[in-house]
Structures are given as structure tokens and as C-alpha cells.
Amino acid sequence: MIAIGCDHGGIELKNEICAYLKENGVDFKDFGINDKTSVDYPDIAFPVAQSVVNGECEKAILVCGTGIGMSMAANKVKGIRAAVCSDHFSAKYTRLHNNANVLCLGGRVIGPGLAIELVDLFLNTEFEGGRHKTRIDKIAAIENNEF
């Protein structure tokens, strides 16, 4: 199950991504928003991030105007590794090397064609582990004040 959420700056792109996921048989849970009412992005980022750390969802996609506010908010939740991506290389390597569990996209930055390719890379690229696991374990140590 993939969690997805957006604010008013990301609603059009989120709707395009939801349509794509539906067409391709990817199960997802939509945390809204579903109209263009202005909303504070942490109000969406937090429940989406929680759904990943509590195991309800495997990964998540968050969309705001830039992707940045959503990533800042999601990364405050212990266990979240959220990455803002607007290019193929970053989307691929944030899975291979960072084991990112949240993809953040900017609805005012990239178009739907590119966004869908980034979503595909994010959903279908496996973490490499090895030396990269040592590094993400150190991120967890920072979260736990054990660094």
C-alpha cells in the first residue's frame, strides 16, 4: 500500500499520480486534500508519514508546491527518510543508497510526465544495502540520540 497526500500547491499533480497508480493497479491510500482549499502541509505530511512508520503503508508520496515543505515536515517523524526529487538520477539513487521511504514532489516545479517517471523509479528500485545500510543506520542513531 502506498500513501499519498498533498496540499493545495500539489493537488493537480497528486490527482495525476493517483490516476496513474489506479490505471496500473497499484494500491494506494489517499490522505487528501481533495479540493483546492488552502491547507498547512504539515497537517498532511504527519499522518502520511505516520502511516509509513506504523507499517500501514510501505512507502509514501507527498506533493506540495515545491516538495520542500512536505519533506521538511515528514523528515521530523522518526523513521522517515523523505527525499525531494525532480530528476531521474536522484529518484533512483535515493532508493538505491538512502532507502528513501517518502518521495516528495513539487507540483509547481515539475510536470506530470516527469513526475510519473520519478514515481516509477521510486516504487520499483530496491535499496542496495551494504555500506549504505551503515549510513542510514547512522541517521537512525541521530534520531535516537545515540550518535
C-alpha 20/C-alpha 63 separation (Å) is: 15
Beta carbon of residue 98, minimum distance to ligand RB5 (angstroms, whole number):
20
Binding pattern for the stretch 17-56 against ligand RB5, x by CB under 6 A and - elsewhere: ------------------------x---------------
Nearer to ligand RB5, 47 or 92 (CB): 47
Q: Which stretch binds ligand RB5 (CB under 6 A): 13-21, 43-51, 58-66, 123-131?
A: 58-66
Handedness of CA 81, 102, 11, 38 (dihedral sign): negative
In b/e form, how buried is each residue of 50-71, taking b as 16+ CB within 10 angstroms? bbbeeeebebbbbbbbbbebbb
Kindly name the residue from 18, 64, 85, 104 that is annotated as catalytic: 64
Nearer to ligand RB5, 37 or 129 (CB): 37
| Count of CB atoms situated within 10 Å of the CB of 91 | 24
Residues 6+ apart with CB under 8 A from 94: 83, 85, 100, 103, 122
Minimum distance, C-beta of residue 43 to ligand RB5, in the bound complex (Å): 12
Cα 39 to chain centroid, rounded: 18
**Closer by beta carbon to ligand RB5, 6 or else 100:** 6
Residues noted as catalytic? 64, 97
Give the interface with ligand RB5 as residue ranges (CB under 6 A): 7, 9, 41, 64-66, 68-69
